[in-house]
Structure 1
Amino acid sequence: MRIVSDLDWEKKLMDPIGERTLKPRKTGITMVIDKGMGLLAFEDFLNTASEYIDIIKLGFGTSPLYPKDVLEKKIGLAKKHQITITPGGTFMEVAVSQNCVNSYFKMIKSLGFNGVEVSDGTIDLSRQFRDDLIKYGTEEGFMVVTEHGKKRKGTKINFNELTHTVHSDIEKGASLVTIEGRESGVEVGIFDENGKCSTDDIVQIMNSVTDPDKILWEAPLKSQQILFINSLGPRANLGNISPEEVFALESIRRGLRSDTFHLAHK
Protein backbone atom coordinates (compact mmCIF):
# COMPACT_ATOMS: atom_id res chain seq x y z
CA MET A 1 0.00 0.00 0.00
CA ARG A 2 1.44 3.35 -1.02
CA ILE A 3 1.76 6.19 1.45
CA VAL A 4 -1.07 8.71 1.54
CA SER A 5 -1.32 12.06 3.25
CA ASP A 6 -4.10 13.18 5.58
CA LEU A 7 -3.32 16.71 4.34
CA ASP A 8 -4.34 15.57 0.85
CA TRP A 9 -1.06 16.55 -0.79
CA GLU A 10 -0.66 15.50 -4.39
CA LYS A 11 0.99 12.07 -4.22
CA LYS A 12 3.94 13.12 -6.38
CA LEU A 13 4.63 16.05 -4.05
CA MET A 14 4.67 13.93 -0.91
CA ASP A 15 6.66 11.01 -2.31
CA PRO A 16 8.37 11.83 -5.62
CA ILE A 17 10.23 8.49 -5.74
CA GLY A 18 6.92 6.71 -5.12
CA GLU A 19 8.20 3.72 -3.17
CA ARG A 20 7.37 4.55 0.47
CA THR A 21 4.85 2.29 2.18
CA LEU A 22 2.74 2.47 5.32
CA LYS A 23 3.47 0.62 8.57
CA PRO A 24 3.87 -2.19 9.34
CA ARG A 25 6.75 -2.18 6.87
CA LYS A 26 8.98 -5.07 5.86
CA THR A 27 11.50 -2.85 4.07
CA GLY A 28 12.57 0.76 4.44
CA ILE A 29 12.72 0.28 8.21
CA THR A 30 13.98 3.15 10.35
CA MET A 31 15.40 2.32 13.76
CA VAL A 32 15.90 5.25 16.13
CA ILE A 33 18.37 5.25 19.02
CA ASP A 34 17.06 6.95 22.15
CA LYS A 35 19.92 7.87 24.49
CA GLY A 36 17.75 9.22 27.32
CA MET A 37 14.98 11.41 25.94
CA GLY A 38 12.61 12.81 28.57
CA LEU A 39 9.03 11.58 28.66
CA LEU A 40 7.40 14.79 27.40
CA ALA A 41 9.91 15.16 24.60
CA PHE A 42 9.43 11.47 23.72
CA GLU A 43 5.66 11.85 23.54
CA ASP A 44 5.93 14.99 21.39
CA PHE A 45 8.46 13.23 19.17
CA LEU A 46 6.12 10.30 18.54
CA ASN A 47 3.10 12.54 17.96
CA THR A 48 5.14 14.26 15.26
CA ALA A 49 7.20 11.51 13.64
CA SER A 50 5.83 8.07 14.60
CA GLU A 51 4.68 7.24 11.06
CA TYR A 52 8.31 7.24 9.95
CA ILE A 53 9.69 5.11 12.80
CA ASP A 54 9.56 1.31 13.01
CA ILE A 55 11.90 0.48 15.90
CA ILE A 56 13.17 2.46 18.89
CA LYS A 57 16.20 1.18 20.76
CA LEU A 58 16.91 2.49 24.24
CA GLY A 59 20.63 2.79 23.65
CA PHE A 60 23.36 0.78 25.36
CA GLY A 61 22.40 -0.15 28.92
CA THR A 62 20.25 2.91 29.66
CA SER A 63 17.03 0.98 30.37
CA PRO A 64 17.61 0.36 34.12
CA LEU A 65 18.52 4.03 34.66
CA TYR A 66 14.96 5.25 34.12
CA PRO A 67 12.38 5.57 36.90
CA LYS A 68 10.08 2.59 36.40
CA ASP A 69 6.96 4.62 35.69
CA VAL A 70 8.77 6.72 33.08
CA LEU A 71 10.15 3.62 31.38
CA GLU A 72 6.75 1.93 31.29
CA LYS A 73 5.13 5.05 29.85
CA LYS A 74 7.77 5.33 27.12
CA ILE A 75 7.26 1.69 26.21
CA GLY A 76 3.48 2.14 26.18
CA LEU A 77 3.70 5.21 23.96
CA ALA A 78 5.93 3.44 21.45
CA LYS A 79 3.58 0.46 21.22
CA LYS A 80 0.57 2.78 20.87
CA HIS A 81 2.23 4.16 17.74
CA GLN A 82 2.94 0.66 16.28
CA ILE A 83 6.65 0.87 17.08
CA THR A 84 8.81 -1.99 18.31
CA ILE A 85 10.78 -0.86 21.37
CA THR A 86 13.81 -2.74 22.60
CA PRO A 87 16.61 -2.37 25.14
CA GLY A 88 20.07 -1.92 23.68
CA GLY A 89 22.10 -4.99 22.83
CA THR A 90 24.83 -4.02 25.29
CA PHE A 91 22.32 -4.46 28.12
CA MET A 92 21.72 -8.04 26.98
CA GLU A 93 25.49 -8.54 27.01
CA VAL A 94 25.57 -7.29 30.59
CA ALA A 95 22.92 -9.88 31.47
CA VAL A 96 24.99 -12.62 29.84
CA SER A 97 28.20 -11.57 31.57
CA GLN A 98 26.43 -11.33 34.94
CA ASN A 99 24.74 -14.73 34.46
CA CYS A 100 21.22 -13.34 34.82
CA VAL A 101 19.67 -13.80 31.38
CA ASN A 102 16.46 -15.33 32.75
CA SER A 103 15.98 -12.37 35.08
CA TYR A 104 16.66 -10.00 32.18
CA PHE A 105 13.99 -11.56 29.98
CA LYS A 106 11.50 -11.70 32.83
CA MET A 107 11.99 -8.02 33.62
CA ILE A 108 11.81 -6.67 30.07
CA LYS A 109 8.67 -8.71 29.44
CA SER A 110 7.01 -7.42 32.62
CA LEU A 111 7.84 -3.83 31.61
CA GLY A 112 6.17 -4.32 28.23
CA PHE A 113 9.09 -4.32 25.80
CA ASN A 114 8.08 -6.01 22.54
CA GLY A 115 11.55 -6.31 21.03
CA VAL A 116 14.96 -7.54 22.13
CA GLU A 117 18.43 -7.19 20.64
CA VAL A 118 20.93 -10.06 20.71
CA SER A 119 24.51 -8.94 20.12
CA ASP A 120 28.11 -9.71 20.99
CA GLY A 121 29.72 -6.39 20.20
CA THR A 122 31.59 -6.29 23.51
CA ILE A 123 31.60 -9.92 24.66
CA ASP A 124 32.04 -13.23 22.84
CA LEU A 125 29.04 -15.54 22.39
CA SER A 126 29.24 -19.12 21.21
CA ARG A 127 27.05 -19.93 18.23
CA GLN A 128 24.98 -22.23 20.42
CA PHE A 129 24.40 -19.57 23.10
CA ARG A 130 23.47 -17.03 20.42
CA ASP A 131 21.00 -19.52 18.94
CA ASP A 132 19.49 -20.16 22.37
CA LEU A 133 19.00 -16.43 23.02
CA ILE A 134 17.32 -15.91 19.65
CA LYS A 135 15.07 -18.92 20.15
CA TYR A 136 14.12 -17.93 23.69
CA GLY A 137 13.36 -14.37 22.62
CA THR A 138 11.06 -15.47 19.80
CA GLU A 139 9.32 -18.03 22.01
CA GLU A 140 8.64 -15.28 24.56
CA GLY A 141 6.96 -13.19 21.87
CA PHE A 142 9.67 -10.60 21.23
CA MET A 143 10.72 -9.31 17.84
CA VAL A 144 14.36 -10.40 17.86
CA VAL A 145 16.92 -8.15 16.20
CA THR A 146 20.47 -9.48 16.17
CA GLU A 147 23.68 -7.63 15.51
CA HIS A 148 26.92 -8.63 13.82
CA GLY A 149 30.23 -6.90 14.43
CA LYS A 150 32.45 -5.76 17.27
CA LYS A 151 32.38 -2.30 18.80
CA ARG A 152 36.14 -2.02 19.18
CA LYS A 153 37.61 0.87 17.23
CA GLY A 154 39.17 -0.27 14.00
CA THR A 155 37.38 -3.63 13.91
CA LYS A 156 36.41 -4.65 10.38
CA ILE A 157 33.64 -6.90 9.10
CA ASN A 158 34.62 -10.35 7.86
CA PHE A 159 32.29 -11.04 4.92
CA ASN A 160 32.31 -14.82 5.31
CA GLU A 161 31.51 -14.59 9.02
CA LEU A 162 28.81 -12.03 8.30
CA THR A 163 27.14 -14.26 5.70
CA HIS A 164 27.14 -17.22 8.06
CA THR A 165 25.76 -15.10 10.92
CA VAL A 166 22.94 -13.64 8.82
CA HIS A 167 21.85 -17.05 7.54
CA SER A 168 22.04 -18.69 10.98
CA ASP A 169 20.29 -15.89 12.85
CA ILE A 170 17.39 -15.72 10.39
CA GLU A 171 17.05 -19.50 10.42
CA LYS A 172 16.74 -19.39 14.21
CA GLY A 173 14.02 -16.74 14.09
CA ALA A 174 15.66 -13.30 14.00
CA SER A 175 13.57 -10.69 12.18
CA LEU A 176 16.53 -8.48 11.28
CA VAL A 177 20.31 -8.69 11.45
CA THR A 178 22.03 -5.38 12.15
CA ILE A 179 25.46 -4.53 10.73
CA GLU A 180 27.44 -2.82 13.51
CA GLY A 181 28.12 0.87 13.04
CA ARG A 182 27.81 2.19 16.59
CA GLU A 183 26.22 5.57 17.29
CA SER A 184 29.26 7.34 15.84
CA GLY A 185 29.44 5.59 12.47
CA VAL A 186 33.23 6.01 12.45
CA GLU A 187 36.07 3.46 12.26
CA VAL A 188 33.98 0.37 12.93
CA GLY A 189 32.41 -2.35 10.80
CA ILE A 190 32.37 -1.27 7.14
CA PHE A 191 33.12 2.40 7.97
CA ASP A 192 36.59 3.95 7.88
CA GLU A 193 38.02 6.65 10.16
CA ASN A 194 36.01 9.27 8.26
CA GLY A 195 32.74 7.37 8.38
CA LYS A 196 32.97 6.38 4.72
CA CYS A 197 32.36 2.98 3.22
CA SER A 198 32.60 1.40 -0.20
CA THR A 199 29.56 0.88 -2.38
CA ASP A 200 31.26 -2.34 -3.52
CA ASP A 201 31.23 -3.61 0.09
CA ILE A 202 27.52 -2.88 0.39
CA VAL A 203 26.75 -4.69 -2.85
CA GLN A 204 28.97 -7.62 -1.88
CA ILE A 205 27.13 -8.06 1.41
CA MET A 206 23.68 -7.75 -0.19
CA ASN A 207 24.60 -10.29 -2.87
CA SER A 208 26.01 -12.76 -0.35
CA VAL A 209 22.82 -13.29 1.66
CA THR A 210 19.64 -15.04 0.57
CA ASP A 211 17.30 -12.43 2.11
CA PRO A 212 18.95 -8.97 1.90
CA ASP A 213 15.75 -7.30 3.15
CA LYS A 214 16.58 -8.76 6.58
CA ILE A 215 19.73 -6.63 6.89
CA LEU A 216 19.58 -3.39 8.88
CA TRP A 217 22.53 -1.02 8.47
CA GLU A 218 23.57 1.20 11.36
CA ALA A 219 24.04 4.53 9.60
CA PRO A 220 23.97 7.47 12.00
CA LEU A 221 25.61 9.95 9.62
CA LYS A 222 23.75 11.78 6.85
CA SER A 223 26.42 10.87 4.29
CA GLN A 224 25.95 7.18 5.14
CA GLN A 225 22.17 7.37 4.86
CA ILE A 226 22.46 9.00 1.44
CA LEU A 227 24.96 6.36 0.28
CA PHE A 228 22.73 3.45 1.31
CA ILE A 229 19.60 4.91 -0.25
CA ASN A 230 21.40 5.86 -3.45
CA SER A 231 22.86 2.35 -3.56
CA LEU A 232 19.86 0.29 -2.42
CA GLY A 233 16.89 2.61 -2.84
CA PRO A 234 14.30 3.70 -0.27
CA ARG A 235 13.85 0.08 0.83
CA ALA A 236 17.19 0.17 2.70
CA ASN A 237 16.76 -0.60 6.42
CA LEU A 238 18.69 1.97 8.48
CA GLY A 239 19.41 2.14 12.19
CA ASN A 240 20.96 4.24 14.95
CA ILE A 241 19.14 7.29 13.60
CA SER A 242 19.00 10.14 16.10
CA PRO A 243 15.49 11.46 16.87
CA GLU A 244 16.23 14.88 15.39
CA GLU A 245 17.22 13.26 12.07
CA VAL A 246 14.05 11.24 11.44
CA PHE A 247 12.39 13.85 9.22
CA ALA A 248 15.63 14.47 7.35
CA LEU A 249 16.02 10.75 6.67
CA GLU A 250 12.41 10.40 5.57
CA SER A 251 12.98 13.25 3.13
CA ILE A 252 15.99 11.40 1.73
CA ARG A 253 13.92 8.22 1.37
CA ARG A 254 11.26 10.02 -0.67
CA GLY A 255 13.41 12.20 -2.89
CA LEU A 256 12.47 15.35 -1.01
CA ARG A 257 16.12 16.39 -0.61
CA SER A 258 18.56 17.22 -3.36
CA ASP A 259 20.75 14.24 -2.34
CA THR A 260 18.22 11.73 -3.72
CA PHE A 261 16.19 14.00 -5.99
CA HIS A 262 17.56 12.17 -9.02
CA LEU A 263 15.97 8.86 -7.94
CA ALA A 264 12.57 10.28 -8.81
CA HIS A 265 13.70 11.36 -12.26
CA LYS A 266 15.52 8.34 -13.67
Structure 2
Amino acid sequence: MRIAELDNWHQLLKDPSCKRGSDRSQGLGKTMVIDKGMGIHSFTDFVQVAGPYVDIIKIGFGTAVLYRPEVLRKKLELAASSGIITMPGGTLLEAAVQQGTVHSFLETISALGFTGIEVSDGTIEMDRMKRTKLIKDCVRRGLTVTTEYGKKAAGSLIDPEELAFTAQCDWEAGAELVTIEARESGVNVGLFDEKGQCREDVLDEVIGKFGKFDMLMWEAPMKSQQADLLLQFGPSVHLGNIAPADALGLEAMRRGLRSDTFQFGQRAEYTDYMI
Protein backbone atom coordinates (compact mmCIF):
# COMPACT_ATOMS: atom_id res chain seq x y z
CA MET A 1 0.00 0.00 0.00
CA ARG A 2 1.35 3.42 -0.95
CA ILE A 3 1.95 5.92 1.86
CA ALA A 4 -0.56 8.32 0.30
CA GLU A 5 -3.30 5.74 0.87
CA LEU A 6 -2.57 5.14 4.53
CA ASP A 7 -5.12 7.71 5.74
CA ASN A 8 -7.96 6.06 3.84
CA TRP A 9 -9.41 4.26 6.86
CA HIS A 10 -12.87 2.81 6.36
CA GLN A 11 -15.44 5.25 7.76
CA LEU A 12 -16.78 2.59 10.15
CA LEU A 13 -13.30 2.28 11.64
CA LYS A 14 -12.81 6.03 11.92
CA ASP A 15 -16.13 6.41 13.73
CA PRO A 16 -17.90 3.18 14.69
CA SER A 17 -20.53 5.25 16.52
CA CYS A 18 -21.50 7.01 13.27
CA LYS A 19 -22.37 10.05 15.44
CA ARG A 20 -19.30 12.27 15.70
CA GLY A 21 -19.67 13.94 12.31
CA SER A 22 -23.19 15.14 13.02
CA ASP A 23 -22.36 15.95 16.65
CA ARG A 24 -19.40 18.13 15.67
CA SER A 25 -21.45 20.00 13.06
CA GLN A 26 -24.08 20.75 15.73
CA GLY A 27 -21.55 21.87 18.35
CA LEU A 28 -22.12 18.80 20.51
CA GLY A 29 -19.56 16.69 22.33
CA LYS A 30 -17.15 19.54 23.00
CA THR A 31 -13.80 18.86 24.64
CA MET A 32 -12.08 21.46 26.82
CA VAL A 33 -8.40 20.85 27.56
CA ILE A 34 -6.54 22.39 30.49
CA ASP A 35 -3.01 23.58 29.70
CA LYS A 36 -0.95 23.83 32.87
CA GLY A 37 2.22 25.09 31.20
CA MET A 38 3.08 23.50 27.85
CA GLY A 39 5.96 25.10 25.98
CA ILE A 40 5.69 26.18 22.35
CA HIS A 41 7.04 22.92 20.92
CA SER A 42 4.80 20.72 23.07
CA PHE A 43 1.82 22.96 22.35
CA THR A 44 2.50 22.87 18.61
CA ASP A 45 2.74 19.08 18.67
CA PHE A 46 -0.47 18.88 20.69
CA VAL A 47 -2.44 21.09 18.29
CA GLN A 48 -1.11 19.22 15.25
CA VAL A 49 -2.12 15.84 16.66
CA ALA A 50 -5.24 16.49 18.76
CA GLY A 51 -6.34 19.95 17.59
CA PRO A 52 -9.12 18.69 15.29
CA TYR A 53 -10.83 17.12 18.32
CA VAL A 54 -10.44 19.98 20.82
CA ASP A 55 -12.84 22.92 21.07
CA ILE A 56 -11.48 24.94 23.99
CA ILE A 57 -8.05 25.28 25.60
CA LYS A 58 -7.93 26.79 29.08
CA ILE A 59 -4.63 28.27 30.22
CA GLY A 60 -5.04 26.89 33.72
CA PHE A 61 -5.54 28.80 36.97
CA GLY A 62 -3.55 32.07 36.93
CA THR A 63 -0.64 30.78 34.83
CA ALA A 64 -1.34 33.14 31.91
CA VAL A 65 0.35 36.06 33.72
CA LEU A 66 3.56 34.01 34.16
CA TYR A 67 4.27 33.59 30.44
CA ARG A 68 6.49 35.88 28.44
CA PRO A 69 3.91 37.78 26.33
CA GLU A 70 5.44 36.70 23.01
CA VAL A 71 5.23 33.04 24.02
CA LEU A 72 1.62 33.33 25.14
CA ARG A 73 0.65 35.18 21.94
CA LYS A 74 2.22 32.44 19.81
CA LYS A 75 0.21 29.78 21.62
CA LEU A 76 -3.02 31.74 21.28
CA GLU A 77 -2.39 32.44 17.59
CA LEU A 78 -1.70 28.77 16.90
CA ALA A 79 -4.90 27.72 18.65
CA ALA A 80 -6.94 30.38 16.82
CA SER A 81 -5.54 29.26 13.45
CA SER A 82 -6.86 25.79 14.24
CA GLY A 83 -10.30 27.08 15.25
CA ILE A 84 -9.80 26.43 18.96
CA ILE A 85 -11.20 28.86 21.55
CA THR A 86 -8.68 29.92 24.21
CA MET A 87 -9.44 31.29 27.65
CA PRO A 88 -7.53 32.05 30.85
CA GLY A 89 -8.45 30.07 33.93
CA GLY A 90 -11.42 31.32 35.90
CA THR A 91 -9.21 31.76 38.96
CA LEU A 92 -7.39 34.60 37.18
CA LEU A 93 -10.66 36.47 36.68
CA GLU A 94 -11.48 35.86 40.34
CA ALA A 95 -8.12 37.39 41.26
CA ALA A 96 -8.96 40.40 39.09
CA VAL A 97 -12.30 40.77 40.89
CA GLN A 98 -10.54 40.50 44.25
CA GLN A 99 -7.87 43.04 43.27
CA GLY A 100 -10.28 45.48 41.59
CA THR A 101 -8.58 45.14 38.18
CA VAL A 102 -11.34 43.58 36.06
CA HIS A 103 -11.30 46.28 33.35
CA SER A 104 -7.53 45.98 32.94
CA PHE A 105 -7.80 42.17 32.91
CA LEU A 106 -10.42 42.18 30.15
CA GLU A 107 -8.44 44.70 28.10
CA THR A 108 -5.30 42.62 28.43
CA ILE A 109 -6.79 39.25 27.49
CA SER A 110 -8.44 40.80 24.43
CA ALA A 111 -5.17 42.43 23.36
CA LEU A 112 -3.23 39.19 23.83
CA GLY A 113 -5.64 37.26 21.63
CA PHE A 114 -7.76 35.19 23.98
CA THR A 115 -11.08 34.41 22.32
CA GLY A 116 -13.00 33.13 25.34
CA ILE A 117 -13.32 33.57 29.08
CA GLU A 118 -14.38 31.52 32.07
CA VAL A 119 -16.53 33.38 34.60
CA SER A 120 -16.40 31.61 37.95
CA ASP A 121 -16.59 32.13 41.69
CA GLY A 122 -15.02 28.90 42.87
CA THR A 123 -12.75 30.67 45.36
CA ILE A 124 -14.41 34.04 45.95
CA GLU A 125 -18.00 35.09 46.61
CA MET A 126 -19.76 36.92 43.76
CA ASP A 127 -23.36 38.07 43.92
CA ARG A 128 -25.81 37.37 41.11
CA MET A 129 -25.88 40.94 39.79
CA LYS A 130 -22.09 41.15 39.49
CA ARG A 131 -21.90 37.73 37.82
CA THR A 132 -24.56 38.69 35.28
CA LYS A 133 -22.85 42.02 34.54
CA LEU A 134 -19.50 40.29 33.99
CA ILE A 135 -21.03 37.78 31.58
CA LYS A 136 -22.76 40.50 29.58
CA ASP A 137 -19.63 42.69 29.47
CA CYS A 138 -17.58 39.76 28.17
CA VAL A 139 -20.18 38.92 25.51
CA ARG A 140 -20.12 42.56 24.35
CA ARG A 141 -16.36 42.27 23.90
CA GLY A 142 -16.90 39.36 21.54
CA LEU A 143 -15.59 36.71 23.94
CA THR A 144 -17.09 33.24 24.06
CA VAL A 145 -18.30 32.95 27.64
CA THR A 146 -18.18 29.75 29.65
CA THR A 147 -19.25 29.98 33.26
CA GLU A 148 -18.53 27.61 36.09
CA TYR A 149 -20.74 26.38 38.90
CA GLY A 150 -19.32 25.08 42.18
CA LYS A 151 -16.68 25.75 44.81
CA LYS A 152 -13.12 24.45 44.74
CA ALA A 153 -12.86 23.62 48.45
CA ALA A 154 -12.48 19.92 49.24
CA GLY A 155 -15.83 18.33 50.03
CA SER A 156 -17.87 20.90 48.11
CA LEU A 157 -21.04 19.38 46.71
CA ILE A 158 -23.52 20.21 43.98
CA ASP A 159 -26.82 21.71 45.01
CA PRO A 160 -29.08 20.74 42.06
CA GLU A 161 -31.58 23.54 42.75
CA GLU A 162 -28.83 26.16 42.92
CA LEU A 163 -27.15 24.73 39.82
CA ALA A 164 -30.39 24.93 37.83
CA PHE A 165 -30.98 28.54 38.91
CA THR A 166 -27.38 29.60 38.25
CA ALA A 167 -27.28 27.91 34.85
CA GLN A 168 -30.53 29.51 33.71
CA CYS A 169 -29.37 32.98 34.77
CA ASP A 170 -25.97 32.49 33.11
CA TRP A 171 -27.51 31.31 29.84
CA GLU A 172 -29.92 34.24 29.80
CA ALA A 173 -26.97 36.60 30.34
CA GLY A 174 -25.20 35.16 27.27
CA ALA A 175 -23.05 32.26 28.49
CA GLU A 176 -22.72 29.48 25.91
CA LEU A 177 -21.83 26.74 28.40
CA VAL A 178 -22.08 26.23 32.14
CA THR A 179 -19.30 24.02 33.51
CA ILE A 180 -19.73 21.92 36.65
CA GLU A 181 -16.65 22.25 38.87
CA ALA A 182 -14.38 19.27 39.55
CA ARG A 183 -11.00 21.03 39.63
CA GLU A 184 -8.02 19.57 37.78
CA SER A 185 -7.88 16.65 40.22
CA GLY A 186 -11.48 15.40 40.00
CA VAL A 187 -11.31 14.25 43.62
CA ASN A 188 -13.66 15.10 46.52
CA VAL A 189 -15.44 17.97 44.79
CA GLY A 190 -18.69 18.45 42.90
CA LEU A 191 -19.90 15.24 41.28
CA PHE A 192 -16.97 13.12 42.48
CA ASP A 193 -16.14 11.57 45.87
CA GLU A 194 -12.84 11.13 47.73
CA LYS A 195 -11.79 8.36 45.31
CA GLY A 196 -12.79 10.30 42.21
CA GLN A 197 -15.85 8.11 41.68
CA CYS A 198 -19.12 9.54 40.44
CA ARG A 199 -21.74 10.25 43.12
CA GLU A 200 -24.63 8.55 41.38
CA ASP A 201 -27.27 10.02 43.70
CA VAL A 202 -26.05 13.57 42.95
CA LEU A 203 -25.97 12.87 39.22
CA ASP A 204 -29.52 11.52 39.34
CA GLU A 205 -30.69 14.69 41.12
CA VAL A 206 -29.01 16.92 38.53
CA ILE A 207 -30.52 14.90 35.69
CA GLY A 208 -33.91 15.42 37.29
CA LYS A 209 -33.48 19.21 37.08
CA PHE A 210 -32.54 19.48 33.40
CA GLY A 211 -34.47 18.45 30.34
CA LYS A 212 -31.40 18.54 28.10
CA PHE A 213 -27.66 18.81 28.62
CA ASP A 214 -26.30 20.41 25.45
CA MET A 215 -25.34 23.60 27.35
CA LEU A 216 -23.71 21.88 30.34
CA MET A 217 -20.07 20.86 30.50
CA TRP A 218 -18.73 18.43 33.11
CA GLU A 219 -15.17 18.71 34.34
CA ALA A 220 -13.88 15.14 34.28
CA PRO A 221 -10.08 14.88 34.39
CA MET A 222 -9.93 11.11 35.00
CA LYS A 223 -10.52 8.53 32.26
CA SER A 224 -12.95 6.61 34.50
CA GLN A 225 -14.98 9.80 35.00
CA GLN A 226 -15.04 10.49 31.29
CA ALA A 227 -16.21 6.94 30.60
CA ASP A 228 -18.95 7.18 33.25
CA LEU A 229 -20.33 10.40 31.80
CA LEU A 230 -20.09 9.13 28.23
CA LEU A 231 -22.01 6.00 29.18
CA GLN A 232 -24.61 8.13 30.98
CA PHE A 233 -25.11 10.82 28.31
CA GLY A 234 -23.55 9.43 25.14
CA PRO A 235 -20.81 10.80 22.84
CA SER A 236 -22.52 14.22 22.70
CA VAL A 237 -21.69 15.18 26.31
CA HIS A 238 -19.36 18.16 26.81
CA LEU A 239 -16.31 17.31 28.93
CA GLY A 240 -13.71 19.65 30.43
CA ASN A 241 -10.40 19.81 32.30
CA ILE A 242 -9.00 17.10 30.04
CA ALA A 243 -5.23 16.69 30.18
CA PRO A 244 -3.57 17.37 26.79
CA ALA A 245 -2.16 13.84 26.70
CA ASP A 246 -5.69 12.43 27.14
CA ALA A 247 -7.49 14.42 24.43
CA LEU A 248 -7.00 11.88 21.65
CA GLY A 249 -7.94 9.02 23.96
CA LEU A 250 -11.16 10.82 24.90
CA GLU A 251 -12.05 11.27 21.25
CA ALA A 252 -11.47 7.54 20.74
CA MET A 253 -13.90 6.84 23.61
CA ARG A 254 -16.49 9.15 22.09
CA ARG A 255 -16.35 7.13 18.87
CA GLY A 256 -16.45 3.67 20.45
CA LEU A 257 -12.77 3.03 19.74
CA ARG A 258 -11.85 2.03 23.31
CA SER A 259 -13.13 -0.89 25.31
CA ASP A 260 -14.82 1.45 27.83
CA THR A 261 -17.36 2.56 25.21
CA PHE A 262 -17.04 -0.19 22.60
CA GLN A 263 -20.83 -0.54 22.65
CA PHE A 264 -21.11 2.86 20.96
CA GLY A 265 -20.02 1.17 17.73
CA GLN A 266 -22.65 0.15 15.22
CA ARG A 267 -22.76 -3.51 14.20
CA ALA A 268 -22.31 -3.75 10.44
CA GLU A 269 -24.95 -5.56 8.37
CA TYR A 270 -22.29 -6.83 5.99
CA THR A 271 -18.63 -7.82 6.12
CA ASP A 272 -15.77 -7.54 3.65
CA TYR A 273 -14.03 -10.55 5.22
CA MET A 274 -15.44 -13.91 6.18
CA ILE A 275 -14.29 -15.31 9.54
In the superposition, the TM-score normalised over structure 2's length comes to: 0.92
Which runs of 5 or more structure 1 residues have no equivalent in the other structure? none
Deviation per CA, 1:71-91, whole angstroms, max 9, x where unpaired? 000000000000000000000
Kept in 2, the 8 Å contact 1:28–1:236? The answer is yes
Cα distance in structure 1, aligned partners of 2:254 and 2:53: 10
1:74 is matched with which residue?
A: 75
CA drift at 1:202: 2.8
Cα distance in structure 2, aligned partners of 1:89 and 1:118: 6
CA drift at 1:205: 1.9
Letter in 2 for 1:122: T
Cα distance in structure 2, aligned partners of 1:191 and 1:41: 30
CA drift at 1:212: 1.6
CA drift at 1:24: 5.9
1:149 is matched with which residue?
A: 150
CA drift at 1:27: 1.0
2:186 is matched with which residue?
A: 185
Which runs of 5 or more structure 2 residues have no equivalent in the other structure? 268-275
Percentage identity across aligned positions? 48
CA drift at 1:201: 3.2
Kept in 1, the 8 Å contact 2:149–2:181? The answer is yes
Kept in 1, the 8 Å contact 2:88–2:118? The answer is yes
1:9 is matched with which residue?
A: 9
Partner SS, residue 177 of structure 1: strand
Kept in 1, the 8 Å contact 2:193–2:199? The answer is no
Letter in 1 for 2:243: S
Point out the structure with max Rg over C-alpha: 2
Partner SS, residue 57 of structure 2: strand
Kept in 2, the 8 Å contact 1:118–1:145? The answer is yes
1:158 is matched with which residue?
A: 159
Aligned length: 262
- Correspondence list, 1:205-220, <5 A: 205-220=206-221
Cα distance in structure 2, aligned partners of 1:173 and 1:7: 40
Deviation per CA, 1:142-199, whole angstroms, max 9, x where unpaired? 0000000000000111110000011110010000000000000000011100111134
2:244 is matched with which residue?
A: 243
- Correspondence list, 1:46-195, <5 A: 46-195=47-196
Once superposed, what is the RMSD of the aligned Cα atoms? 1.6
Kept in 1, the 8 Å contact 2:76–2:86? The answer is yes
Cα distance in structure 2, aligned partners of 1:28 and 1:41: 25
Cα distance in structure 2, aligned partners of 1:210 and 1:262: 25
Kept in 2, the 8 Å contact 1:166–1:209? The answer is no
In the superposition, the TM-score normalised over structure 1's length comes to: 0.95
Matched, 1:27 2:24: no
Cα distance in structure 1, aligned partners of 2:212 and 2:169: 12
Partner SS, residue 213 of structure 1: coil
Kept in 2, the 8 Å contact 1:147–1:180? The answer is yes
Letter in 1 for 2:194: E
Kept in 1, the 8 Å contact 2:213–2:237? The answer is no
